[in-house]
Amino acid sequence: MKLRKSSTDRVFTGVCGGIAEALGIGSIWVRLLFVFGGGILFWVYLALMFLMAD
């Protein structure tokens, strides 16, 4: 399983959509996790934004 940014399910950069596609779940759940997950997940999101392939 290789994480890739989603090109179709994106709001900002496609990170949450790509994670959701890889896990086979709805992207809304991944987005909610990042929104309500706390400050550390903000930094994780930023890192994934630059590290995940397009």
Our CA angle for 24, 31, 27, nearest 5°, is: 30
What one-character-per-residue DSSP string does 2-54 give?
--B--SSS-SSSSHHHHHHHHHTS-HHHHHHHHHHS-HHHHHHHHHHHHHSB-
Q: Report if pTM > 0.75.
A: yes
pLDDT tens digits for 2-50?
889 999 999 989 999 999 999 999 999 999 999 998 889 999 999 999 9
3-state secondary structure of 53: strand
| CB distance 17 to 8 below 8 Å | yes
pLDDT of 1 strictly over 90: no
